[in-house]
Amino acid sequence: MYDPNLQTTLDAAFQSIRAAREAFTPTLQAREVGHVSNVATGIAHVTGLPNVGFEELVKFPGELYGIAFDLGETDIGVVLLGDYWHLQAGDEVERTGRVMDVPVGNDLLGRVINPLGEALDDRGSLVCAQRLPIERPAAPIMDRDPVSVPLQTGIKVIDALVPIGRGQRELILGDRQTGKTTIAVDTILNQHDQNVVCIYCAIGQRASAVAKVVASLREHGAMAYTTVVVTEGNDPPGLTYIAPYAATSIAEHFMHQGHDVLIVYDDLTNHARAYRELSLLLRRPPGREAFPGDIFYVHSRLLERATHLRPSFGGGSLTALPIIETEAQNMSAYIPTNLISITDGQIYLSPKLFELGVLPAVDVGRSVSRVGSKAQLADYRKVAGSLKLAYAQFEELEGFARFGTRLDDNTRKILAHGQRIRACLQQAEHAPVPVAAQINLLRALSEGKFDDVPLEQMQAAEQQVYAAAGFRPLP
């Protein structure tokens, strides 16, 4: 039986299908696909991508990404950014048309992430609206302002004798287990009321060491203004290589918003070793100590991004504290000398002082700040101006005094004063001292108020100075 309603419904359905078909315009999307020719430790060689660009991101099966690093005539060398054990020769590789980037923004504060922007803590996945390339040009010279504001570390020997300014690059170097990371962590802890955003970048560290740092930051409430970027020792060398660049892009986002930012690279020795490993695997010619010839450029383009911007560009600053591990106190090795020439000064930690229990084990004679004194508070310059010279004289005389030579009264006085300086500059870890308390202590020290105090009572005398100035007892 003929039903007119059914016929009308069918006509309307066919009409809508016809309209959709006529409105559809097929789009062609070009995809450039290559294939893996071979896989090695942390790298892969790929063929069939003739138009790929340098440092372009390419995609492998299993959501694995890599960076095009060597552009050859017939193949490209790709640095892999994750677990690559599933990769095999013949697997497809696809161009992405973009460079490696990292999420940035306030949502990263208080989080522990890897260089890809993936969360490593237990607070869920990250959702950030903005991403920035990990490799970005440093601010032009005309966009920069002189370093004029101090970055207070809360560490007496550094704030008084080796001051750091906001926008400066101050190298921390020394042998293993001399307290390099402790100085960096204490500096972060001291920014709790200084309106400074902190980024801690752990490069190729042991998981237990990173966990200890994160626990210290959480215990003292510092994670509220800190982001931790982590690569562990067993991570692929590609992740270790990009870690400091990703952390710097996160820091630059805050700097361009007008914030003062502190970034710690712990440590660039592991970064240099990861880059050396990648370069040798990619058959690049080795140079001194088997490092490739461009290792200086690798670190200089990273540290040049630390600066103080002019007010017209927001007035933000990025202060860098790179850490380097020396071997047998050899400051003249290849990587340490490279970084000493790039940075604006260095804080050298002596294993001899560490063994004597002088903590922090800062060797004042080998430490220098080429910028910080310009930014140091005027009150510090008044009370600490003569301390470095007096301490240097004491260290010279102390060496002669060990031979048992007869000393005149003036020499004994210099030695006694120097011993009090050393005692006053000692400090427990994770116990930053406020600026006003430091200045009161240094004034008493420079005026010789402690010279008659027995050495074993110096700590009690220091606490009495703090109490007289209205401060609670400090550790």
Give me 380's structure tokens. 């510090």
| 8 known ligand binder | no
| 399 known ligand binder | no
| HSE-CB of 50 using CA atoms within 13 angstroms | 2
* In contact, 462 and 438? CB cutoff 8 Å: no
Q: At what angle do helices 295-303 and 268-281 cross, to 10 degrees?
A: 140
| 179 known ligand binder | yes
CB neighbourhood size of 187 (10 A) = 25
Q: Are strands 64-71 and 33-40 parallel, antiparallel or unpaired?
A: unpaired
Q: Which of 235, 244, 298 is nearest to 266 (CA)?
A: 244
Q: Which residues, in sequence order, are CB contacts of 199 under 8 Å at separation 6+? A: 226, 227, 228, 229, 247, 248, 250, 251, 261, 262, 263, 264
Q: Which residues of 48-83 are buried (b: 16+ CB within 10 A; e: fewer)?
A: bbeebeebbbbebeeebbbbbbbeeeebbbbbbbbe
| 177 known ligand binder | yes
Query: DSSP readout, 36-60?
Result: EEEEETTEEEEES-TTPPTTEEEEE
| 176 known ligand binder | yes
Q: Which residues of 402-434 are buried (b: 16+ CB within 10 A; e: fewer)?
A: eeeeeeeeeeeebbbbbbbbbbbbbbebbebbb
Q: How many angstroms separate the CA atoms of 304 and 313, rounded?
A: 17
Asked about 370 being catalytic, the answer comes back as yes
Active-site residue, from 370, 381, 420, 422: 370
| 66 known ligand binder | no
| HSE-CB of 174 using CA atoms within 13 angstroms | 25
Q: How many angstroms separate the CA atoms of 74 and 56, rounded?
A: 17
Q: How many angstroms separate the CA atoms of 74 and 90, rounded?
A: 15
Q: Which of 455, 309, 438 is nearest to 380 (CA)?
A: 438
What residue spans of 403-449 are helical by DSSP H? 409-425, 435-446
| 25 known ligand binder | no
Chain center to CA of 246? 10
* Sign of the four-CA dihedral 390, 392, 395, 401: negative
Pick out the residues of the known binding site: 174-181
Q: Which residues are catalytic?
A: 370
Pick out the residues of the known binding site for ATP: 174-181
